[in-house]
Amino acid sequence: AGMAHGHGRCCCCCGEAAAVGGDGGAAWGLYLRIDRQRLQCLNERREGSGAFVFRAWEERGDRAQFVESDDDEELLFNIPFTGNVKLKGVIVMGEDDGTHPAEMRLFKNIPHMSFDDTAREPDQMFSLNRDLTGELEYPTKIARFSNVSHLSIHFPKNFGAETTKIFYIGLKGEWTEAHRHEVTICNYEASANPADHKLEQITPQTHFIS
């Protein structure tokens, strides 16, 4: 955990140095690739409010849109994408008080995560600094997040308040179409090649005889 914490702190420094906006808002366009019909935010006080924190980088300063936790300080986002994503960085904006999340844990490709599921080891964890303006980028281990169809973000604790409040979550990365591969599989199943099946049947018998 100590190492993860140290890494988190390093990320903050890197984020400040990079000053996020170097490549402008275009890099933070993954919010357009979220399947909003299936997006979930667990423990949100106002239903549907979790979806509003994923918006254009240029609109991150809109303080009217935010999500606040309900029963305690935990929040869990289940974010399905409309294709495959290479996730490169995350921004988390909150208040300059105890409601700002203090830790972020990322999980990839575990649809419909519950709070019980968060007991498992995350794919990456960050210690967060308070960020009021969306200037701190937390870079991911890209090799680990190069083929993400579903991202879960768990905020287990904040800086001491009873509830957690988040105004904006930015996701930076690349998106690729996922359907072509799925269609290929469907076509293959729909018109199975009899020769393939014959081979599968013959091979074990031949092997058995010899």
Residues 6+ apart with CB under 8 A from 134: 20, 57, 60, 61, 91, 93, 168, 170
Q: What pLDDT score does 179 carry?
A: 60
Q: What pLDDT score does 203 carry?
A: 43
Q: What pLDDT score does 26 carry?
A: 82
Q: What pLDDT score does 48 carry?
A: 97
Q: What pLDDT score does 28 carry?
A: 94
Residue 198 CB-density burial (10 A; 0-12 exposed, 13-18 middle, 19+ buried): exposed
Q: What pLDDT score does 150 carry?
A: 98
Q: What pLDDT score does 146 carry?
A: 96
- For residues 160, 156, 68, 126, the Cα torsion angle rounded to the nearest 10 degrees is 90
> Which residues of the chain carry a pLDDT beneath 70?
1-24, 179-210
Q: Can you give the pTM of this predicted structure? A: 0.77
Among 98, 137, 101, 104, CA closest to 123: 104
- Where are the strands (E) in 94-132, listed by range? 103-108, 124-127
Q: What pLDDT score does 193 carry?
A: 56
Q: What pLDDT score does 47 carry?
A: 97
Q: What is the set of domains in the chain, with CATH numbers?
A: 40-177 (2.60.120.470)
Residues 6+ apart with CB under 8 A from 146: 86
